[in-house]
Every structure is written in C-alpha cells, then in structure tokens.
Structure 1
Amino acid sequence: MIVVVGKENPAYVEAAGAVPVRFVESLEHETFDGVQAVIGHLPADVLDKARELRWVHSPSAGVDSDLTPEMIASPVVLTSSAGNGGISLAEHSILLMMMLNRDVPRWMRAQAEHRWDHYRHGELAGRTVGIYGLGNSGLDLALKAKAFHMRVLGVRRRPEQPSPNVDELCDFGTLLSESDFVVVTTPRTPATTGVFDRAAFARMKPTAYFVNISRGGIADDDALLEALTSGQIAGAGLDAHGVEPLPPDSPFWSLPNVVVTPHNGATSDGTLRRSQEIVADNIRRFVTGEPLHNVVDKAAGY
C-alpha cells in the first residue's frame, strides 16, 4: 500500500500498477497497517506506528523539516522533490538581481505617484554573481547568468562534481569579496545554518547585493539587518526568511534597499508539474525495485 497525502492523481495509480494507492487529506487518522510508502510530510511520531514503512517521499525540494531525529535514526529511505523548482528559482534569482540592480521599487513608487522619474541605473552584464550552492537551482542560475554576460563564481560541497557555466569554483571568502551579487541556493543543513553572519557580510563589497531564494536561517537575520542599515552591503532580495510568514512588524518590509517576496519563487505550474513527474517516476521505481531518485543523504541533510 502506498499512501499519498493530497489530491487523487491517475498518474500515481498507473505508476503503481497492481500496488494499491490511497489518497488522504492528512495522516492524522492513518493506521499504517500494510503501508509501505508515504508520499507527504511524515510526522516524527508516526515512525513507531508504521512498522512496514520502507519509503517516504517529501513533496519539498528541501528536507530540513523532514529530517527529524526519528527519521535520521530510521532505516526508512527518504527521497525529496529536489529539482522541481530549480528553473523557477533561478528565474526568481534573476528577477531579484535585476530589481535591485535597476532599483525597480523606485520606478514602482513613481508609477504609484504618476511621476516621471528618469535616472541612470545598472546592468547585469560584466558583473560577478557568486552562487552559494550548485544544486539544481544554482546550476540553472549559472546558465542564465552567462546569458546575461556575467562572471559566475560558485561554492559547492563536492567540488569534484561538474559545474557547467561556472567560471570558477572558489572558497567562501573569495565568493564574498569578489561578488557583486551573492545568491544563496543551498539547502539549510547544520553546515549552512547561520553561515552568513556578521563576519560574512563584512567581507562583501559595500556595493554588493545579497539574494536568498532557498531557505531562511542560512543568514543570521540580525546580522543581515545590521549590514543593510549600516551600508555594509547595498541591498538584498529575500524570498526566504528566518521566520515565515515574515511578521508584519519585521523591519525588512520597509527597508528601501530590500525587495521582499513571500517564499513564492518556485510557486509555478512548472514546479508542480515537475513535482508530480518526480513522484510518479519514483513510485514506478519503488514498485519495480529500481533505485529511487533523489535519495536524501541523512547525514549531509539533503
């Protein structure tokens, strides 16, 4: 039995073949008798009840909330939807970079006031983007940045892996000091949580922008706020936040050098379609005994 949290999807039933698939609104009242796989976020206390469970698929690309101590200790295989939003997040990164580079909020304020505000602005060509994390979204951003004639630096945990369209793999310090845009595309793990602290922002150029489209908590919000208000960095584009939803009284909302979006960068039809394709393919693989895609390294955190 495969239990799916969400709406019925004929593609999942087809992929499962003779294995029954049950669609539920939540796992709250699930007994887990005979359940071997769950598609959805699994509460930590469920693992004790689900004696036959072998596989859990997270509908999210990032699995920081799924990696409970119970899941880490469990032999249950965890897979993710990594890659579902890579294209959309890369597009959102370019959007935020251009909004900051050209000060689009200034145009929007002028439009609201019916005021003709003509000014000299920047362009991305010739600028350096430093991508912190070269997974699906990071590599797609590198491709798009090259189309904008940018120099691309990158930091990744496994530098031996291919990094197409990246001009240079470098250390964290070089990324900070040489980039005009520092873009965070890495998952939140114990190794990345809080890595953008006061010392990190102090190494960035005062003309540089910080962009986060992955997860909150990778940047220390107090350190980021201090860097933005003191002029240590020029501005920020924030789709991921330390506290979500971003509280109404958060100072990030009203800073003139910050563009805030509500963790919305990957909320596209394409992301949904790719998520469903990943799930259907993994259901087929689970049923036929083939290796699953996107198996999470529980020690690494993604």
Structure 2
Amino acid sequence: MRKIAVWHEFGGAIVDYLVPQLPDDEVAAYQNEEAFRIGLRDAEILIAGHFNLDAIKDAPWLRWLQWTNSGIDPLVARQELFAGLTVSNAAGIHAALMADYVMATISYFQWDIPRLQNNQRHRRWEPSYTQALQDRTLCVVGLGAVGSEIARRGTAARMKVVGVSRSRRAVAGEWRAIEELDDVLANADFLVVVLPRTAETLGLLNARRLALLPDRSVLINISRGGIVAEDPLVERLVTGKMRGAAVDVFDREPLPPDHALWSLPNVLLTPHISGNDANYARLVADLFLENYANYRRGEKMRTQVDVLGRHPS
C-alpha cells in the first residue's frame, strides 16, 4: 500500500475521484498546513499545487511530486529540494479552456465589443464593418499542449497561423524557429504568448520586440509574468501603437490597484483565470492516474519534468 497525500484547494474532490480507483492505497487530503506537514512525513506520493516547499525536508519517504500546475518555475528556484525525487507537472490539462479564452478574446477585439457596449449604453445606432478572421494572422509563441491547441483553433477559424518555438514541432499552420521571432512579430494581427517562465523567456517580449508589432496588433498574454515587459506594453497601448491587449498574467499578482493597465480602455484585464477549469479536480485526478500507472511500472510519465535541468523536459 502506498500513501498519497493531497494538498490542494480542491483536495477533497481529487480524493473522491481517486479513492474508488485506488482501493489498495491510502489517499488523504488535508485541511490545514499543520495537518498536511504531519501527513506528508510518511507519504510516498504528493499531489499538490503551491505550498511551502520546505515541507519536503521532513518527508523522508517521498518519492514523487505530482505538481498540479503547468509552470514549474517555483520548483526550479528550489531545485536543491528535489534531488532523488520524481516530479511531474500538469501540462496539457488546461489546453482546452485556455484555447477557449484566446478565441474569446480574439472575438472581443475583432468585433470591438467595448465600442458596441458603449453604443448600447448610450442608445447609439452606429453600424460598422468588421474584417473576417480568415483574413487575419494569428501568431502563437510557445507550442506546448496549450499553444498547439490554440494553433488548431485558429486554423479551424481559417486564420493564417504561425507557430513559434525553440525546437521544431508539428503545428496546425506554419512553424518558425524562435530565432525568427522578430520577422513573425511584424506580421501579427493577434499575438498569443504562451511560454513557460525560464531564464531564456524572461523579458523575451521587451520594448524592442513590442515595437516590431504593427499598429493593428492585439497581444494576448496567458504565459507568466515577466515574459512580456509591462511598461513598454503600457506605453504602446496608450500611444495607439497597438490596437489592444488581453492580459491574464502579470509581474505582480494580484495586480496593484494603481497599475496603469487597470484603466486602459483598449485592455481586457483578467485575474489569471484562463486555466481555471471548473472540472479541475477531475482533470488532475485523470492525469495522476495516467502517470501513476507508469510510476508503478517504473516507466517515465507523460508529464515528467526535470526540475534539476539535466536534460530538456
């Protein structure tokens, strides 16, 4: 029998999904940090999102962490804790919903919803013309599970899709290497940034690169804070050098109330919700069960990652 500890806001629901599937294992969720740290001491497996990573120091039997987020930057920052541990993340479980978010925000700007709402409030009848999506170019920077699904959705809408990644990937549309990013930006109507936060991606969309975007462009940022430079982005939005932006991730979260992005009329601002699937507990449980089957066979898991950076993951 293995002990599986669960520390998550939906821990109870995750346990409810897992217990019938794992009758020979002990699966337990915890309601407070003290109980969690006590329960972790004899656990072999931990399913968790953000927690005080120092708790791992008091878990001598822990062998595997199933991280419930996609981004592993908090783990990489404390990589000394993970020597000898297997780690897997939740890459891919957010793909469908995050692609929904992107297509919704594309439609928001395509139809200029704020103007239509303003006209409705003022009972103003002002017919206008809109360019079809099939005449627009969608550039997706980052082609993991989420980026690939966004590219597929864009292709289904008959947009011209250009996917950018470090290594060559099969993509619904045209693939370009990250070294060609500058050329790609110059032709983007909609630019979606969906990259992990790493030393290589921090500041990737800096002032110089943002200046390459055409005035008609809309930036959609669902990656991590720090990848898109916020101050240059604000400057371009204020001066009309970009059409707009949908921003779901920020350098500081929660976003300070006095931040300029709150008040810009050409910004759709959301509080890091693009991956908040209402079925999150089931998705995490299903992924865990898939990875657990491999774990028991001693095989590499589909979402296994190398926190220590010894090889690409």
Question: By the TM > 0.5 criterion, same fold?
Answer: yes
Q: Assess, with a 3 A threshold, how the Cα gap between structure 1 residues 301 and 247 changes in structure 2: closer, same or farther.
A: farther
* Separation (CA, whole Å) in 2 of partners of 1:260 and 1:106: 16
- Within the alignment, does 1:16 sit opposite 2:22 as a pair? yes
Alignment of 1:146-295 (within 5 A): 146-159=155-168, 161-163=169-171, 165-170=172-177, 171-295=180-304
Q: Check whether the contact 1:37–1:54 (CA below 8 A) recurs between aligned residues.
A: yes
Letter in 1 for 2:19: V
Q: CA deviation at 1:130?
A: 0.8
Identify the range of structure 1 (257-266 vs 277-286) with the bigger mean alpha-carbon deviation: 277-286
Which structure 1 segments of 5+ residues have no match? none
* Separation (CA, whole Å) in 2 of partners of 1:176 and 1:268: 30
Q: 141, 156, 161: which one pairs with 2:150?
A: 141
Identify the range of structure 1 (207-216 vs 260-269) with the bigger mean alpha-carbon deviation: 260-269
Letter in 2 for 1:275: V
Letter in 2 for 1:7: G
Residue 66 of structure 1 aligns to a residue whose secondary structure is helix
Percent sequence identity over aligned pairs: 28
Q: CA deviation at 1:132?
A: 0.4
Q: CA deviation at 1:64?
A: 2.0
Q: Which runs of 4+ in 1 moved over 4 A?
A: none
Residue 135 of structure 2 aligns to a residue whose secondary structure is coil
Q: Check whether the contact 1:185–1:214 (CA below 8 A) recurs between aligned residues.
A: yes
| Aligned match of 2:71 | 62
- Within the alignment, does 1:3 sit opposite 2:11 as a pair? no
Q: For CA contacts below 8 A with separation 6 or more, give which structure has more relative contact order.
A: 1
| Aligned match of 2:124 | 115
Q: Assess, with a 3 A threshold, how the Cα gap between structure 1 residues 108 and 86 changes in structure 2: closer, same or farther.
A: same
| Aligned match of 2:31 | 25
Q: 39, 42, 54: which one pairs with 1:34?
A: 42
**Size of the alignment, in residue pairs?**
300
Q: Assess, with a 3 A threshold, how the Cα gap between structure 1 residues 266 and 70 changes in structure 2: closer, same or farther.
A: closer
Q: Check whether the contact 1:60–1:81 (CA below 8 A) recurs between aligned residues.
A: yes
* Separation (CA, whole Å) in 2 of partners of 1:122 and 1:72: 52
Which structure 2 segments of 5+ residues have no match? none
* Separation (CA, whole Å) in 2 of partners of 1:27 and 1:294: 27
Q: Assess, with a 3 A threshold, how the Cα gap between structure 1 residues 247 and 116 changes in structure 2: closer, same or farther.
A: farther
Q: Check whether the contact 2:246–2:267 (CA below 8 A) recurs between aligned residues.
A: yes
Q: 97, 101, 121: which one pairs with 2:110?
A: 101
Q: Assess, with a 3 A threshold, how the Cα gap between structure 1 residues 70 and 149 changes in structure 2: closer, same or farther.
A: closer
